[in-house]
């Protein structure tokens, strides 16, 4: 079986069906057993002519990053695709519409920009689409058909995948998509002479024995929340977290749960805290701007020690910023965004798999440690489709992690009892004898407001101490590479970790003495492990997608050493190539 | 009256049901003629102004008889011209415009209407009351017969004089049978004669009777004597055995002779006759036939079909040569000497002229030479003083009137050798002019007819149907018998398929600017760039609209307009329009009876 | 700012490349563009058989690397086909629906496979090897085929036979000696060639012609005029080249067999020149029009065309008829000795 590692980009204008065809491709190729790493970028305006790119790396080996260079570019729009050509490999392939309705002026066609060595396959996308479906809307499917025919993808199976994708639509939609695909497939079979060597044909992976799920980060989070016994979801839609709400709204009622679309984000977190107070598992998901609104009320969960799970899928920039771009710049506000000394647990999954496990863990931790748990996703992780081993649903003991008071304790119930580990047994409202006061004011062990000189220090310490326990229950930071005498240590978090991991593996192949560490739990901070790693490395590099190096800033006081940084704010996910280049630079 | 009123009052619902919803308007506005010429180019290209979209539409509805009659209104030889027309319409067909594929096979569709109509097909003639006038037509070729037919329908008594023993002129004597089976021709001639046209065969004017006496005996005379003299190439050796003029060669073959051609035949000239002669020479046993052109293949006036058939029959076409002399032995042709030419530009059409290159002579062996470089009219029979235009009969401009009173002329004897469709159109128009002269008023007129129409059921996918090739005989069967027709004609299915390709340019899609709300829903569903945001429109000399000036800036948009030159009549815009402001009108240029 | 001159060359063969080099050498600022429908570099045509046989790689085929064009600032538009020329508006219409304007144009599109009229009816079963596009198509088929029939005869076909012998393929050769390209064979040359081939275990037949060719399940059955029947997996046709001018006909540029040019390589438009295997020139000594054939001749003509377009007036001289230069091999009476 030959190695296959091909990056396909579909590039078009809003309305061309770029993203949906990319999704079909990624899902289908995953279902064929390929490893997938996909990434979409699209304009934030709902209607218009902005550039959409569906990027998908398809390999029969494990892939960790989306891939910087494109092997196959499908151009549904000339102008946009021309601007995308710079990422095409020197021997890359372009599939384009060679029969637009009018002659294009000089240099307006992507075909004219093909560099020597690149290969272009002209497919009359528009004509074939009109032939098959009577409209221009099937161009994306025609292109997929041609792609399948040229690169050895099973057309019949892909047809059924398209069928499944549109199964809920009416027959006309299904037919026109299927017909367009078939038209593109047969046309390419008959008319295209293949002159490149890219193919999926000979390298279909063996079907895995494990059950696989083809999902993106948002789906993983939503599924995990439901599997974890979610009772209430309250939220206000915002890209890129809306999808979580969509899925929950569809699936949660079936399990007897409730989804509330609130009037704003403040209300949403209010709902969640209310449900948490009542003893039910609850969650909200938002992005940066919504997170800002929530941050005040989120402190109530910390102060009143109420379980709450808050997902923040990060996007770019302050304010409305870059709604459809990727960034890791909400780390500061997640860690330090509370007023007062406001400890919270922060988890940042590095892969779609971890999106699931982090979410189940988040519910567990929130309930056990009676506090706010923030899950930091980002645009890339939220939308990136992967082929993962079907996650194992949480076990019964994880589904109920509340530390309940003993009968004796209920005789004189102290809701905020100062215990050794900081966790005060929590009586769910309605528990006989468990009546108590919960408040956002600083309070005594019984919950009564109290501002004396001893209470606040004791309670603050208790709140900080109790979450330390989470460190031992969260996954340990991952250490890849030698355990000592490392030249360069790369520490990464969130979605950047995958690219960094791949870059380190490749750098090691090149003979650079480099090691890699990533951590899922960011607060409380796994100081011990990271310190150990730091000591083994003579230099430390932190690549991350924000301008100031927010994670490096968190790291450096712990490590008390200078940290080298790779900060990018292009709005695109960081690629392994970018990091590898930096490593090479450092090693030079 | 009262009773009627009562009836309608009582049966109001019924009255509404039978209300005629068909609204028809007629126009003689120059702008509408301009619109037709611009937007229905095939009809504009046809000398006979045949309603081409109309008859193709009938074929796609499988009404072959109606399609035949639509043709016959303007051209009394649909079956004949469906085979041998020079197809000026196809050169103008929208489907043949750059990047839109190949033109609709209009000619072969015409033939399919003739071939596939029912065998007991009813012929329709719009007969006028007898007028009592007597008219003589000289020449029973396409122009003569067309004028005879038209005159007969107009109520005149017509006698056609023909010098040959058979009617049909060049159709009968010039065109080879493998292109035009004679039973088709006979049938269509007979249908003309059924109107009571007298046909006097074997009567050469100037011998048994004279033009002078015809002018005396008849109320008017039309001469349509064609071009029956072949130009000579003025070559030394042209009188040798084995040197034929193209016309003479074809006439002899068509009359049953089999002239000896030998193995190597050189044809000189590049018109229809030259190609016919070369193909006939192959059938007469020649093995090496060449067609020799002074200019180049791309400058030949014949259409690609004929060229390709000739090449398929292994005829070689040589360009840039010119015969210098023919040499023989014992009175029989032996070889031909030619010289090379080069092309030079001329400011007048045809823009290229071949001039000989000095000192470039070469000689090829030949067994016979056929010179087919053109024909000119015979005017020797005219025994009155008449104005000529070179070899041809002079007629006053835009008219068929000659310098002699009561004498009219039509067809090749006026225009020089052209093609059959021109002759047919000329003959008919000359007849109408004679009628106007005798009756003293116009009785028929071309007029633009508007009728509200449903959007067509054309689909975008119809545009991608490739041109349906006409089946032809394989090479061996062609040569088994000289008369075997090469082209086989469409069957029902392929005629139907080819007809679907027609863009139906006679349907006009129009947006009512006053009701349009500029939602651009139509542009979203447009199959191609057929609906445009425009800032201005060109106004032509005749007042009709020309090209649109497009804009992408909404500030400058004065209207959303449908470009009927790009429209494929799929009706998607009509479906999409929320304001119902897109109208569909069938626009046809027809001949209207002014008596009605 | 006045627009820069745009010299466009259609065709990426020896004529096109030497024209491009001449343009660049004499005008540092102008835009120079080569358009070719082959998505491959300027290559040695005579090496195609070895390439198809898999004996040499793509790099061995290339005359020069792409980097040369970058350095020279010559834009290569490869894999792009010119559909039509509008000489009045000076616009080229490319098949992928792009308009390209030019100020001066050189047509150097070379030849396309020659097919005898008797072969046209089964053209779809024939394989050719006149350029990279059809060679790359042929490559996997040749690898798969066990028996191969070769029709016609030209120098490339002999090269192919040589290559196929190293691949141990069974070869039938139907030798159209009368149509040999590019020169006529004289005397007993064809008999000698056949005899030599037979010695090398190649079934060669001179002066036979194909009557019918039918395909069934990828097996081609071929019947000849003299009644022979051949069955093979592949039928390749080698009858040389005819000028590739299909896209020019009807544009207003005069053509006959090729693009008609005068002795300065100029067409009937003053800004359009043609050179190489597609140009047709009258030669007073031959008393005939002739079409250049071969590599160095094409290169020479390309240079002359470019120089004349830039203002000089060089006259092209035909090489002597008896010795024509074909892909770098001087044709003389001994050239088939290696068989």
Residue numbers in B near C84 (CB within 8 A): 98
Rounded to an integer, what distance in angstroms lies between the CA atom of residue B577 and that of residue C233?
A: 58
In this complex, the chains that touch A, judged by 3 or more CB pairs closer than 8 A, are: B, C
Cβ-based interface (< 8 Å): residues of A facing B:
99, 101-103, 127, 130-132, 134-136
Task: Tell me what pLDDT residue C319 has.
Answer: 55
Angle at A251 between CA A249 and CA A253, to 5 degrees: 75
The model's pTM is: 0.81
Distance from CA of A111 to the nearest CA of C (A): 7
Angle at C140 between CA C135 and CA C145, to 5 degrees: 110
- For residues B266 and B384, state if they share a domain: no
pLDDT digits (tens, 9 = 90+) for A450-476: 999 999 999 999 999 999 999 999 999
Residue numbers in C near A112 (CB within 8 A): 77, 80, 94, 96, 98, 100
Question: Pick from A99, A103, A131: which is nearest to B461 by CB?
Answer: A131
| Whether A102 and C78 lie within 8 Å, measured CB to CB | no
Tokens, residue B216: 């005396």
Alpha helices in A240-394 (DSSP H): 242-251, 265-277, 288-303, 331-336, 352-369, 379-383
| Whether A134 and B461 lie within 8 Å, measured CB to CB | yes
Residue numbers in B near A103 (CB within 8 A): 99
| Whether C98 and A105 lie within 8 Å, measured CB to CB | yes
Scanning every residue of chain C, which has its alpha carbon at the shortest distance from the alpha carbon of A98? C96
Ramachandran category for residue A204: left, alpha or beta (phi over 0 → left; psi -120 to 50 → alpha) = beta
Task: Tell me what pLDDT residue C335 has.
Answer: 34
CB burial string B488-516: b at 16+ within 10 A, e below: ebbeeebbbbbbbbbbbbbbbbebeeeeb
In this complex, the chains that touch C, judged by 3 or more CB pairs closer than 8 A, are: A, B
- For residues B238 and B324, state if they share a domain: yes
Testing the interface with B: which of A122, A132, A134 to mutate, by most B Cβ within 10 A? A134
Query: Beta A119-123 vs B582-593: how paired, if at all?
Result: unpaired
Rounded to an integer, what distance in angstroms lies between the CA atom of residue A14 and that of residue A16?
A: 6
Distance from CA of B323 to the nearest CA of C (A): 15
Residue window 155-184, chain C: list those with CB within 8 Å of chain B.
none
Residue window 20-59, chain C: list those with CB within 8 Å of chain A.
39, 41
Residue window 74-103, chain B: list those with CB within 8 Å of chain C.
98-99
Task: Tell me what pLDDT residue B22 has.
Answer: 66
B340 to chain C, any CB pair closer than 8 A? The answer is yes
Q: What is the CATH number of the domain that holds B473?
A: 1.10.1060.10
Whole-number mean pLDDT of chain A?
93
- For residues B152 and B278, state if they share a domain: no
Backbone phi, psi, residue A219, to 5°: -65, -40
Scanning every residue of chain A, which has its alpha carbon at the shortest distance from the alpha carbon of B462? A131
- For residues B246 and B349, state if they share a domain: yes
Tokens, residue B563: 């470009």
3-state secondary structure of B430: helix
Residue window 345-364, chain B: list those with CB within 8 Å of chain C.
345, 352, 357, 359-362
Question: Pick from A115, A122, A195: which is nearest to C96 by CB?
Answer: A122
Question: Pick from B99, B460, B570: which is nearest to A131 by CB?
Answer: B460
In this complex, the chains that touch B, judged by 3 or more CB pairs closer than 8 A, are: A, C
Question: Pick from C41, C95, C99: which is nearest to A104 by CB?
Answer: C99
Q: Is residue B415 in some structural domain?
A: yes
Task: Tell me what pLDDT residue C286 has.
Answer: 76
Total count of domains within chain B: 4
C-alpha dist (Å) from residue B65 to B68, B69, B113, C216, C231: 5, 6, 7, 43, 51
DSSP A470-534: HHHHSPPPEEES-SSSEEEEEEEETTHHHHHHHHHHHHHHTT--EEEEEESEEES--HHHHHHHH
- For residues B396 and B339, state if they share a domain: no
Question: Pick from A98, A103, A116: which is nearest to C76 by CB?
Answer: A116
| Whether C282 and B357 lie within 8 Å, measured CB to CB | yes
Residue window 77-106, chain A: list those with CB within 8 Å of chain C.
96, 98-100, 102-106
Distance from CA of B530 to the nearest CA of A (A): 10
- For residues B542 and B416, state if they share a domain: no
- For residues B67 and B171, state if they share a domain: no
Rounded to an integer, what distance in angstroms lies between the CA atom of residue B20 and that of residue B4?
A: 18
Task: Tell me what pLDDT residue A56 has.
Answer: 93
Distance from CA of A74 to the nearest CA of B (A): 22
Query: Which domains, and CATH codes, for chain C?
Result: 6-112+242-329 (3.50.50.60), 115-239 (3.50.50.60)
Q: Is residue B491 in some structural domain?
A: yes
C-alpha dist (Å) from residue C39 to A91, A199, C142, C302: 12, 19, 21, 21
Rounded to an integer, what distance in angstroms lies between the CA atom of residue A358 and that of residue B142?
A: 91
Domain end point (choices B325, B342, B370): B370
Rounded to an integer, what distance in angstroms lies between the CA atom of residue C197 and that of residue A48?
A: 69
- For residues B272 and B342, state if they share a domain: yes
Distance from CA of B570 to the nearest CA of A (A): 9
The terminus-to-terminus CA distance of chain B in angstroms comes to: 26
| Whether B459 and A134 lie within 8 Å, measured CB to CB | yes
Please report the ipTM that was assigned to this predicted complex.
0.82
Query: Cis (ω within 30 of 0) for the bond into A240?
Result: yes
Task: Tell me what pLDDT residue B543 has.
Answer: 86
Stronger pLDDT, A47 or B435, i.e. the higher one: B435
Question: Pick from A103, A106, A195: which is nearest to C39 by CB?
Answer: A195
| Whether B461 and A135 lie within 8 Å, measured CB to CB | no
Rounded to an integer, what distance in angstroms lies between the CA atom of residue A474 and that of residue A366?
A: 12
Question: Pick from B459, B529, B572: which is nearest to A102 by CB?
Answer: B529
Whether domain A214-388 has CATH 3.30.450.20: the reply is no
Residue numbers in A near C96 (CB within 8 A): 96, 98, 109, 111-112, 120, 122
Domain A478-587 has what CATH class?
alpha beta
Domain around B480: 40-123+466-500
Task: Tell me what pLDDT residue A15 has.
Answer: 80
| Whether B529 and A130 lie within 8 Å, measured CB to CB | no
Low-confidence ranges of chain B (pLDDT < 70): 1-22, 596
Q: Is residue B587 in some structural domain?
A: yes
- For residues B173 and B80, state if they share a domain: no
Stronger pLDDT, A559 or A196, i.e. the higher one: A559
Q: Is residue B128 in some structural domain?
A: no
- For residues B249 and B363, state if they share a domain: yes
Total CB pairs under 8 A between chain A and B = 24
Scanning every residue of chain A, which has its alpha carbon at the shortest distance from the alpha carbon of B463? A131
Residue window 162-221, chain B: list those with CB within 8 Å of chain C.
none
Rounded to an integer, what distance in angstroms lies between the CA atom of residue B270 and that of residue A81?
A: 51
Testing the interface with C: which of A98, A105, A116, A124 to mutate, by most C Cβ within 10 A? A116
Domain end point (choices B370, B398, B428): B370
Task: Tell me what pLDDT residue A48 has.
Answer: 60
Angle at A561 between CA A557 and CA A564, to 5 degrees: 105
Q: Are A356 and A247 in contact (CB under 8 A)?
A: no
Which of A258, A257, A248 has its CA nearest to residue A224? A248
pLDDT digits (tens, 9 = 90+) for A166-215: 988 888 889 999 999 999 999 999 999 888 889 998 777 777 777 888 89
Q: Is residue B393 in some structural domain?
A: yes
Domain positions in chain A are: 5-191, 214-388, 407-473, 478-587
**Within 10 A of A399 (CB to CB), how many other CB atoms are there?**
16
Q: What is the CATH number of the domain that holds B327?
A: 3.50.50.60
| Whether A99 and C93 lie within 8 Å, measured CB to CB | no
C336 to chain B, any CB pair closer than 8 A? The answer is no
Question: Do the first three CATH levels of A214-388 and A478-587 match, i.e. the same topology?
Answer: yes
- For residues B537 and B471, state if they share a domain: no
Question: Pick from C41, C93, C96: which is nearest to A111 by CB?
Answer: C96
C-alpha dist (Å) from residue B244 to B173, B231, B326: 15, 11, 12
- For residues B252 and B340, state if they share a domain: yes
Task: Tell me what pLDDT residue B524 has.
Answer: 81
Q: Is residue B458 in some structural domain?
A: no
Testing the interface with B: which of A15, A130, A137, A175 to mutate, by most B Cβ within 10 A? A130
| Whether C284 and B359 lie within 8 Å, measured CB to CB | yes
Low-confidence ranges of chain C (pLDDT < 50): 1, 321-339
| Whether C100 and A193 lie within 8 Å, measured CB to CB | no
Task: Tell me what pLDDT residue A580 has.
Answer: 96
Question: Pick from B98, B99, B340: which is nearest to C289 by CB?
Answer: B340
A242 to chain C, any CB pair closer than 8 A? The answer is no
Scanning every residue of chain C, which has its alpha carbon at the shortest distance from the alpha carbon of A121? C79
Superfamily of structural domain A5-191: Pyruvate-ferredoxin oxidoreductase, PFOR, domain III (3.40.920.10)
Rounded to an integer, what distance in angstroms lies between the CA atom of residue A581 and that of residue C148?
A: 52
């Amino acid at each position: 079986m030959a190695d296959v590692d091909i990056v396909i980009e579909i590039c078009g204008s809003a309305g061309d069906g770029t993203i949906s065809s990319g999704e079909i491709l990624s899902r289908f190729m995953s279902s064929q057993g390929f490893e997938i790493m996909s990434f979409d970028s699209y304009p934030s305006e709902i209607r218009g002519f902005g550039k959409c790119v569906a990027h998908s790396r398809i390999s029969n080996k494990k892939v960790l990053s989306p891939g910087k260079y494109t092997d196959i570019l499908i151009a549904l729009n000339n102008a946009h695709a021309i601007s995308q050509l710079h990422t095409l490999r020197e021997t890359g392939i372009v599939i384009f519409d060679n029969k637009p309705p009018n002659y294009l002026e000089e240099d307006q066609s992507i075909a004219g920009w093909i560099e020597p060595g690149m290969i272009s396959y002209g497919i009359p996308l528009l004509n074939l689409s009109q032939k098959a479906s009577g409209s221009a809307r099937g161009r994306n499917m025609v292109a997929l058909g041609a792609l399948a025919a040229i690169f050895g993808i099973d057309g019949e199976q892909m047809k059924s995948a398209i069928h499944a994708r549109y199964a809920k639509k009416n027959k006309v939609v299904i037919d026109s998509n299927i017909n367009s695909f078939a038209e593109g497939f047969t046309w390419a079979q008959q008319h295209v002479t293949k002159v490149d060597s890219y193919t999926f044909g000979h390298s279909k992976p063996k079907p895995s024995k494990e059950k696989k799920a083809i999902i993106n980060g948002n789906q993983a989070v939503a599924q995990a929340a439901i599997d974890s016994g979610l009772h209430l979801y309250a939220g206000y839609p915002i890209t890129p977290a809306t999808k979580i709400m969509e899925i929950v709204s569809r699936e949660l009622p079936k399990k007897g749960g409730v989804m509330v679309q609130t009037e704003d984000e403040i209300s949403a977190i209010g709902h969640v805290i209310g449900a948490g107070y009542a003893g039910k598992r609850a969650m909200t998901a938002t992005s940066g701007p919504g997170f800002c609104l929530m941050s005040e009320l989120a402190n109530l969960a910390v102060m009143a020690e109420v379980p709450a799970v808050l997902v923040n899928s990060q996007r770019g920039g302050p304010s409305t910023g870059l709604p459809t771009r990727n960034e890791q710049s909400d780390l500061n506000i997640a860690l330090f965004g509370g007023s007062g000394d406001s400890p919270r647990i922060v988890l940042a999954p590095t892969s779609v798999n971890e999106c699931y496990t982090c979410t189940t863990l988040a519910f567990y931790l929130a309930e056990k440690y009676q506090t706010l748990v923030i899950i930091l996703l980002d645009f890339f992780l939220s939308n990136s489709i992967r082929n993962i081993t079907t996650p194992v649903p949480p076990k019964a003991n994880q589904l109920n992690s509340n530390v309940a008071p003993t009968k004796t304790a209920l005789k004189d119930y102290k809701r905020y009892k100062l215990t050794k580990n900081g966790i005060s047994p929590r009586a769910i409202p309605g528990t006989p004898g468990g009546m108590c006061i919960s408040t956002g004011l600083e309070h005594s062990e019984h919950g009564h407001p109290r501002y004396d000189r001893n209470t606040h220090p004791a309670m603050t310490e208790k709140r900080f101490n109790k979450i330390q326990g989470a460190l031992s229950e969260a996954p340990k930071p991952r250490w890849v590479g030698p355990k000592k005498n490392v030249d360069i240590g790369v520490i990464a978090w969130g979605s950047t970790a995958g690219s960094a991991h791949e870059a380190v593996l490749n750098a090691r192949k090149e003979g650079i003495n480099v090691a890699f560490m990533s951590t899922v739990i960011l607060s409380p901070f796994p100081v011990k492990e990271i310190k150990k790693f730091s000591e083994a490395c003579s230099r430390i590099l932190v690549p991350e997608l924000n301008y100031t190096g927010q994670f490096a800033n968190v790291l450096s006081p712990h490590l008390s050493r200078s940290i080298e940084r790779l900060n990018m704010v292009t709005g695109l996910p960081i690629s392994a190539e970018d990091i590898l280049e930096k490593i090479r630079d450092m090693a030079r | 009256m009262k009773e009627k009123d009562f009836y309608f009052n009582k049966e109001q619902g019924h009255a509404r049901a039978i209300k005629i919803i068909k609204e028809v308007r007629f126009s003689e506005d120059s702008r509408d003629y301009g619109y037709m010429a611009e937007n229905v180019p095939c009809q504009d290209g046809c000398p006979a102004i045949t309603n081409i979209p109309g008859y193709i539409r009938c074929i796609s509805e499988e009404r072959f008889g109606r399609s035949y009659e639509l043709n016959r209104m303007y051209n009394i030889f649909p079956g004949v011209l469906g085979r041998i027309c020079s197809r000026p319409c196809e050169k103008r067909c929208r489907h043949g415009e750059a990047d839109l594929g190949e033109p609709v096979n209009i000619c072969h569709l015409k033939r399919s209407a003739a071939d596939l109509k029912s065998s007991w097909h009813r012929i329709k003639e719009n007969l006028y009351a007898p007028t009592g006038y007597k008219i003589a037509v000289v020449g029973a070729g396409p122009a003569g017969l067309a004028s005879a037919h038209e005159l007969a329908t107009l109520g005149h008594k017509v006698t056609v004089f023909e010098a040959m023993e058979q009617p049909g002129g060049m159709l009968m004597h010039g065109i080879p049978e493998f292109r035009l089976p004679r039973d088709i021709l006979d049938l269509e001639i007979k249908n003309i004669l059924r109107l009571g046209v007298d046909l006097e065969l074997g009567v050469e004017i100037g011998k048994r009777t004279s033009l002078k006496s015809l002018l005396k005996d008849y109320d008017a005379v039309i001469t349509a004597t064609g071009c029956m003299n072949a130009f000579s190439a003025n070559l030394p050796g042209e009188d040798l055995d084995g040197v034929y003029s193209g016309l003479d060669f074809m006439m002899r073959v068509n009359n049953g002779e089999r002239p000896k051609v030998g193995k190597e035949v050189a044809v000189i000239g590049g018109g229809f006759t030259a190609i016919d002669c070369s193909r006939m020479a192959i059938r007469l046993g020649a093995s090496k036939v060449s067609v020799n052109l002074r200019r180049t293949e791309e400058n030949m006036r014949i259409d690609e079909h004929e060229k390709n058939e000739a090449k398929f029959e292994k005829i070689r076409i040589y360009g840039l040569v010119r015969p210098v002399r023919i040499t023989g032995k014992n009175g029989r042709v032996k070889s031909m000497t030619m010289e090379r030419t080069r092309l030079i530009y001329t400011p007048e059409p045809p823009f290229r002229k071949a001039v000989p290159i000095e000192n470039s002579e070469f000689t090829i062996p030949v067994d016979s030479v056929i010179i087919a470089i053109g024909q000119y009219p015979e005017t020797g029979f005219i025994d009155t003083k008449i104005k000529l235009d070179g070899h041809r009969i002079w007629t006053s401009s835009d008219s068929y009137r000659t310098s002699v009173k009561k004498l009219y002329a039509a067809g090749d004897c006026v225009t020089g050798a052209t093609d059959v469709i021109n002759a047919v159109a000329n003959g008919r128009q000359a007849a109408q002019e004679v009628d106007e002269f005798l009756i003293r008023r116009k009785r028929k007129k071309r007029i633009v007819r508007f009728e509200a129409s449903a959007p067509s059921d054309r689909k975008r996918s119809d545009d991608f149907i490739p041109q349906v090739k006409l089946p032809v005989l394989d090479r061996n069967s062609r040569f088994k018998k000289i008369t075997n027709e090469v082209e086989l004609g469409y069957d029902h299915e392929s005629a139907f398929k080819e007809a679907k390709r027609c863009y139906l340019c006679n349907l006009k899609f129009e947006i009512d600017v006053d009701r349009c709300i500029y939602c651009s829903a139509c542009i979203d569903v447009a199959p191609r760039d057929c609906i445009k945001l425009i800032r201005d429109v060109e106004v032509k000399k005749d007042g009709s609209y020309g090209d649109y000036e497009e804009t992408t800036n909404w500030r400058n948009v004065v209207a959303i307009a449908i470009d009927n030159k790009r429209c494929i009549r799929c009706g998607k815009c009509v479906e999409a329009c929320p304001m119902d402001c897109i109208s569909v009108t069938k626009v046809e240029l027809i001949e209207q009876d002014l008596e009605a | 700012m006045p627009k820069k001159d745009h010299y466009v060359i259609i065709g990426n063969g020896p004529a096109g490349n030497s024209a491009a080099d001449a343009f660049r050498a004499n005008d540092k600022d102008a835009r120079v563009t080569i358009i070719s429908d082959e998505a491959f570099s300027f290559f040695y045509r005579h090496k195609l058989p070895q390439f198809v046989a898999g004996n040499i790689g793509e790099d061995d085929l290339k005359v020069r690397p792409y980097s040369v064009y970058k350095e020279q600032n010559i834009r290569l538009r490869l894999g792009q086909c010119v559909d039509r020329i509008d000489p009045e508006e000076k616009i080229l219409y490319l098949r992928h629906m792009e308009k390209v304007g030019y100020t001066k144009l050189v047509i150097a599109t070379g030849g396309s496979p020659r097919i005898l009229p008797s072969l046209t009816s089964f053209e779809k079963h024939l394989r050719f090897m006149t350029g990279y596009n059809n060679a790359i198509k042929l490559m996997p088929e040749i690898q798969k085929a066990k028996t191969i029939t070769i029709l016609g005869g030209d120098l490339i076909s002999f090269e192919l036979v040589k290559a196929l012998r190293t691949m141990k393929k069974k070869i039938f050769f139907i030798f159209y000696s009368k149509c040999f390209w590019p020169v006529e064979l004289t005397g007993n040359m064809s008999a000698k060639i056949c005899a030599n081939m037979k010695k090398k275990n190649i079934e060669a037949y001179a002066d036979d012609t194909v009557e019918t060719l039918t395909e069934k399940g990828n097996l081609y059955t071929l019947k000849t005029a003299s009644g022979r029947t051949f069955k093979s997996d592949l039928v390749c046709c080698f009858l040389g080249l005819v000028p590739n001018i299909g896209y020019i006909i009807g544009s207003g540029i005069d053509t006959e067999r090729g693009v008609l040019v005068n002795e300065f390589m100029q067409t009937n438009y003053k800004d359009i020149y043609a050179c190489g295997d597609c140009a047709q020139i009258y030669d007073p000594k031959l008393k005939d029009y002739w079409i250049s054939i071969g590599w160095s001749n094409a290169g020479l003509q390309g240079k002359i065309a470019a120089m004349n377009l830039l203002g000089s007036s060089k006259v092209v001289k035909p090489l002597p008829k008896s010795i024509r230069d074909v892909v770098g091999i001087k044709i003389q009476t001994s050239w088939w000795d290696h068989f």
